[in-house]
Amino acid sequence: MRKLLTSLLVGASAIATVAITTSPAGALPARYQFQNAKNASVCLSAYGDSIGAVPCLPANSALSHTHWVMDTATRQQQVRHPITAPTDECLDANLNAAYMSPCTWDDYGTYWDVEQVSSGYFLFRSYSGKVLTRWDSGNVSLAWPSDVDDDRKYKWKAIL
C-alpha cells in the first residue's frame, strides 16, 4: 500500500509540474520585452515604481529594466520584473495609473488580462477594463481603448 501511495504521489507531482510549465497556444515566452506596436523602437520598462517606454535592447542582452516574466497559470496573469528580485515587483494598476509594486496574490491590481489581439501582439487589460497605453509623449498609462486615437498605442509585441 505504501509503495502504491508513493507511486501515486510521484505521478501526481509529475502531472502538476507539466500543467504548470506547459503554456497554452499563444502564450508568451518566459522572458521577453514588450515592444510598442506604434513605435517599435521602444519597449515597456520599469524604473523603481514607475512605468515607461525606453529603447529596446538586443535579444541577447543581460536582464534589464525592459525584461519581463509572466506567471501564466491562468489568463489573469501577474507581470513580474526579474531585475527587482529579491523584492519581487509586479506591474500594478489602480483605476487610472500603472506602476510597480510588490507582487502579492491578494492584490487584484497586479493581475492583468493579457489578450492576443493579432499575430504576436498583445494588450494588457487591467481589472478596471482600461488598457496599458504608450502615448506619443512617451508616457505609459491606462486608458479606455475607445479614448485612444490609434490602437497601435496599446498593442505590445512580445520579443525575446
Tens-place pLDDT, residues 72-121: 655 567 787 766 555 678 899 998 899 998 888 788 888 888 888 988 89
29 pLDDT tier (thresholds 50, 70, 90): very low
Q: What is residue 78's predicted lDDT score, i.e. its pLDDT?
A: 79
Grouping H, G, I as helix, E, B as strand and the rest as coil, residue 85 is coil
The residue among 33, 34, 19, 121 whose CA lies nearest residue 72 is: 19
Grouping H, G, I as helix, E, B as strand and the rest as coil, residue 58 is coil
pLDDT tens, position by position, 49-61: 889 998 887 766 6
Q: What is residue 121's predicted lDDT score, i.e. its pLDDT?
A: 93
Q: Where are the domains of the chain?
A: 25-159
| pTM for the whole structure | 0.73
Residue 155 CA: distances (Å) to CA of 45, 54, 105, 119, 132: 15, 16, 26, 11, 8
- The answer to whether residue 16 scores a pLDDT higher than 90 is no
Domain covering 25-159: architecture: Trefoil (2.80)
